[in-house]
């Protein structure tokens, strides 16, 4: 209404009603719990900690994605958020089990979101016009809703939201950083293609020319595709880490060079490497725009490696270093100078029990421990004692109970679990205690 419009007096019946309601509203407000208390309760009820949980009703979700969430027990105040995007034929739970981001979250206190495709291909939409523009009505919209839900529910830090993915998930990482540059601070793409390279207009999810590495553009043309996803945006752009194997026969190696062209242009840095080194055998790392761990663009080429390049236990930590998440979170757990694990397994037709004894063979006390081990294929934990176990298959972390978290030098603690098996009833072959390898007996 215009500012000079006269306000009409309330009718007398409304005045009377208003007078009656004011005391009632005041009483209700005095009786209500503080907003912070309600918010805290909501966070506690949102998802259990240290386990993978499916979240429903998280917001706009035009392509019917599923949302899986991992919240560590030691989640930090205003935590960072990592979106881990799966490959074709994969799922959110598969990404959770096949990567170490949940265990890294336990160490550093951030939250992990695992989007999951429900369409039959199990591939993310990185091809349609809807996916390649902001708010277009496809997978990126649902993923942004997941991020928004975590930011709101856990009071997470909007300046520390990151994305990483493998294959189809790597392509989606490129798309997310292009469509939502104001949401994501950085990304790490394992065996992907540039933003817009997989674009199709016939409804197909597959672009053979791009997959075969025959789509080439100038750096500015690639950069314009990214800039066109959010016209008018002039804010900062997310940093990008790129990984590719030279023998990739699914998304061929030339795509790696095209990605470098695209993101150096988007970030306005020289395509001449600021540094080149070999952080591991067969790896060549080039950094663009700076020489440090958080360069605008970092590219790692893996000599002789094919499409399935992601290696559990060696690459996730490097992603966190690039994102700047490895220095955040709770204080590190005490590192034992020595430990020994003894395990005895009793099996029957389809089940087994395992009794595990952990001994601190070091010279300093341990206050709070996590025992890491990998279950043989086909085994699934159905129950346990002396610790909490998560996840129930694959790479498992057993976390001390409230009563047995302290281990003096020379002291031992006994825990155990019951599991189903599909024929292999062997014990785990190796154990770590707070990240330190233990001897076994």
Enumerate residues 6+ apart whose C-beta is below 8 A from 275. 286, 287, 291, 295
Q: What is the pLDDT along the chain (441 residues), one digit of tens a residue?
A: 333 333 333 333 333 333 444 343 344 333 333 333 334 444 545 899 999 999 999 999 999 999 999 999 999 999 999 999 999 999 999 999 999 999 999 999 999 999 999 999 999 999 999 999 999 999 999 999 999 999 999 999 999 999 999 999 999 999 999 999 999 999 999 999 999 999 999 999 999 999 999 999 999 999 999 999 999 999 999 999 999 999 999 999 999 999 999 999 999 999 999 999 999 999 999 999 999 899 999 999 999 999 999 998 889 999 999 999 987 444 444 557 789 999 999 999 999 999 999 999 988 888 778 898 999 999 999 999 998 888 888 888 888 887 888 888 899 999 999 999 999 999 999 998 887 889 998
pLDDT of residue 345: 94
pLDDT of residue 9: 38
Calpha distance 298→291 (Å, rounded): 9
pLDDT of residue 335: 59
H and E: helices and strands count for the chain:
10, 22
336 burial via Cβ count (<10 Å: 0-12, 13-18, 19+): buried
Nearest CA to 129 among 206, 255, 229, 218?
Answer: 229
Under 8 Å between Cβ of 356 and 377? no
The gap between the terminal CA atoms of the chain, to the nearest Å, is 81
pLDDT of residue 437: 87
Q: Where are the beta strands (DSSP E) in 361-422?
A: 366-367, 370-374, 380-385, 387-390, 395-400, 406-407, 412-420
Choose, from 138, 167, 168, 301, the residue flagged as catalytic: 167
Which pTM was predicted? 0.68
Nearest CA to 143 among 228, 85, 227?
Answer: 85
436-437: strand order across its sheet = 387-390, 395-400, 370-374, 431-433, 436-437
pLDDT of residue 283: 96
Look up 138 and say whether it is catalytic.
Answer: no
Under 8 Å between Cβ of 143 and 153? no
**Per-state percent for the chain, helix, strand, coil, to nearest 5:** 25, 25, 50
């Amino acid at each position: 209404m215009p500012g000079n419009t006269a306000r009409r007096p309330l009718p007398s019946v409304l005045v009377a009603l208003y007078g009656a309601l004011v005391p009632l509203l005041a009483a209700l407000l005095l009786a209500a719990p503080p907003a912070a208390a309600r918010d805290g309760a909501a966070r506690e009820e949102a998802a259990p900690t240290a386990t993978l949980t499916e979240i429903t009703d998280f917001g706009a979700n035009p392509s019917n994605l599923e949302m899986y969430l991992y919240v560590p027990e030691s989640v930090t105040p205003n935590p960072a958020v990592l979106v881990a995007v799966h490959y074709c034929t994969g799922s959110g739970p598969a990404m959770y089990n096949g990567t170490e981001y949940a265990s890294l979250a336990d160490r550093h206190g951030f939250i992990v979101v695992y989007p999951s495709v429900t369409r039959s291909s199990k591939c993310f939409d990185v091809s349609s016009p809807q996916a390649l523009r902001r708010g277009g009505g496809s997978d990126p919209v649902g993923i942004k809703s997941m991020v928004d839900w975590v930011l709101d529910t856990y009071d997470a830090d909007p300046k520390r939201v990151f994305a990483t993915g493998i294959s189809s998930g790597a392509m989606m990482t490129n798309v997310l950083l292009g469509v939502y540059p104001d949401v994501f601070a950085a990304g790490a793409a394992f065996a992907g293609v540039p933003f817009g390279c997989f674009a199709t207009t016939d409804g197909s999810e597959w672009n053979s020319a791009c997959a075969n590495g025959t789509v080439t553009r100038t750096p500015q043309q690639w950069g314009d595709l990214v800039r066109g996803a959010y016209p008018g945006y002039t804010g900062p752009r997310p940093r990008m880490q790129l990984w590719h194997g030279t023998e990739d026969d699914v998304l061929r190696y030339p795509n790696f060079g095209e990605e470098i062209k695209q993101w150096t242009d988007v970030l306005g840095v020289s395509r001449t490497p600021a540094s080149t080194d070999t952080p591991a055998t067969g790896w060549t790392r080039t950094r663009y725009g700076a020489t440090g761990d958080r360069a605008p663009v970092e590219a790692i080429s893996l000599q002789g490696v094919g499409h399935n390049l992601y290696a559990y236990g060696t690459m996730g930590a490097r992603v966190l270093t690039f994102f700047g998440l490895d220095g955040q979170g709770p204080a590190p757990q005490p590192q034992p100078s020595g430990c020994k694990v003894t395990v005895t397994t009793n099996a029957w037709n389809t089940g087994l029990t395992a009794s595990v004894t952990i001994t601190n063979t070091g010279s300093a006390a341990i206050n709070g421990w996590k025992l890491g081990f990998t279950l043989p294929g086909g085994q699934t934990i159905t129950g346990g004692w002396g610790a909490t176990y998560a996840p129930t298959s694959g790479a498992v972390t057993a976390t001390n109970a409230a009563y047995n978290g302290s281990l003096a030098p020379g002291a031992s603690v006994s825990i155990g679990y019951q599991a189903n098996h599909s024929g292999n009833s062997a014990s785990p072959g190796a154990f770590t205690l707070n990240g330190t390898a233990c001897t076994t007996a």
